[in-house]
Amino acid sequence: MIRQMAFDLPVRQARGREDFFVAPANALALAALDAPEAWPAGRMLLIGPEGAGKTHLAAIWAEERGAEVVAVADLGNAEAERLAAQGAVVVEDAQHLRGAPEAEEAAFHLINLIAAEGGRLLFTADAPPRDWGLRLPDLKSRLDATTAVHIAPPDDALLGAVLVKLFTDRQLAVPQTLVSWLVPRMERSLGAARALVAALDARALEERRPVSRTMAAEVLDTLR
């Protein structure tokens, strides 16, 4: 018997504004990012749970403002000077600043440089700065004083739209009736939506059959 192999094709991550579904959960955050000229001291915090859409929103802002996106692990004082000179910067997953003294120093340096040069600085994080465990008092003070905008838990419309987007990214043809069936039965988070679609994609590849309600029910059971 010849065994068929399941090839895991690359996932096309659609991260443009046209791919972002605006809902009550994220409308305020989007509006705040669309008006960076109104950011106090030129900086903003975008806070939300994992998979809530922070990376997508930050990517939209970075693309439209010509901003560079940087991870905490890549921050250093020399890097902070280079980034500040560009005028617009995104620091992703800023909660990882805790326990990284060099990165804390660089983040403080970057905040001051951006403010001095009239630039814009966007931090994304999964919790407010008070929960990060920062050790540098001056950095903590700056971040505590930074205006924060939150992404709220998703409603049914947003969960459904995200499922459609995730299936499309993976080139999976799934009827809307199945999406509507999944929404009230899945864990109510965008991170859970990503895990669910990834699991369905893997099962469909392994079994060489399309995604169905029966398959979806089986996968939901394994994820609980």
Give the count of beta carbons closer than 10 Å to the beta carbon of residue 38: 10
For 191-216, write each residue's pLDDT tens digit.
899 899 999 999 999 999 999 999 99
Longest dimension (CA), the chain: 69
In angstroms, rounded to a whole number, what is the distance separating the alpha carbons of residues 3 and 15?
36
For 154, the 3-state DSSP assignment is: coil
44: β partners: 122
- Checking if the pLDDT of 8 tops 70, the result is no
- What does each C-alpha distance from 145 to 65, 120, 128, 130, 167 come to in angstroms? 24, 15, 11, 11, 40
For 134-157, write each residue's pLDDT tens digit.
999 999 999 999 999 999 888 898
Domains identified in the chain and CATH numbers = 26-150 (3.40.50.300), 154-223 (1.10.8)
Read off the pTM. Answer: 0.78
Kindly tell me the burial class for residue 172, based on how many C-beta atoms sit within 10 Å of its own C-beta (0-12, 13-18, 19 or more): middle
- Strands 120-125 and 88-92, by their bridges, are parallel
